[in-house]
Chains A and B, each alone.
Chain A
Amino acid sequence: EVQLLESGGGLVQPGGSLTLSCAASGFTFSSYAMSWVRQAPGKGLEWVSIIFSGGSRTDYADSVKGRFTISRDISKNTLYLQMISLRAEDTAIYYCARGRHNSDYWGHGTLVTVSS
């Protein structure tokens, strides 16, 4: 059974940093592209970032480019999202999801709140 389990969310001050993790199981992690998608409270889904199966290529939404870094550790079957210079508008539930052109499995999400 495919499972994605996010962790690392919490309350952080504006300008602060946070790293999210997503532990994957039930499939060959190295064979799939993985994405982060976020959802601000009461708002719609926003694609954030993707890392391709080989790990060498990454892409980001303009809203996070230069501030967020996606990475993966194949040995730990874990996806990461390093976030710096956080802003109030980054407050959201962050989901990790499997797939390149679509997302067939999603985690339950982890809440990031940026507030002083």
Chain B
Amino acid sequence: QSALTQPASVSGSPGQSITISCTGTASDVGSYNFVSWYQQHPGKAPKLIISDVYNRPSGVSNRFSGSKSGNTASLTISGLQADDEADYYCSSFTTSSTRVFGGGTKLTVL
């Protein structure tokens, strides 16, 4: 149950786009389209922003989008805003019927 691999940090200026990668294995990301992404502001609970690789829950901005290729999933945030500054985590269902999270990525809006 090794954690999925995410970059520790990414940054971008307001209005720009950034992409966060999430690399797993054939036993998790590569096996199912059950990759989800969570946004967490300091002191707050995580919030689901992408489910099943591509789907945005109701109320989540269309500036957030997800994709997957092989064992790597990606989260793209377009039109960066100050409030996007947060920690982002990916998660995947696994072939053991468990779940695994990535180590998290700190997004800084410059």
Interface range on chain A (Cβ under 8 Å from partner): 20 to 34
Contact with B along A92-116 (1 / 0, CB 8 A): 0001000011111111110000000
How many interface contacts (CB-CB < 8 Å) are there between A and B?
64
Q: Is B23 an interface residue (CB 8 A)?
A: no
Given contacts A102-B34, A103-B36, contact A50 B99 (CB under 8 A): yes
Query: Which B residues are in CB contact (< 8 Å) with A103?
Result: 36, 38, 46, 48, 91
User: How far does the Cβ of A92 sit from chain B's closest Cβ, in whole Å?
Assistant: 13
Query: Which A residues are in CB contact (< 8 Å) with B40?
Result: 45
Q: Is the CB of B45 within 8 A of A50?
A: no
Query: Which B residues are in CB contact (< 8 Å) with A109?
Result: 45
Which residues on A are within 8 Å of B, measured CB to CB?
A: 35, 37, 44-47, 50, 59-62, 95, 100-109
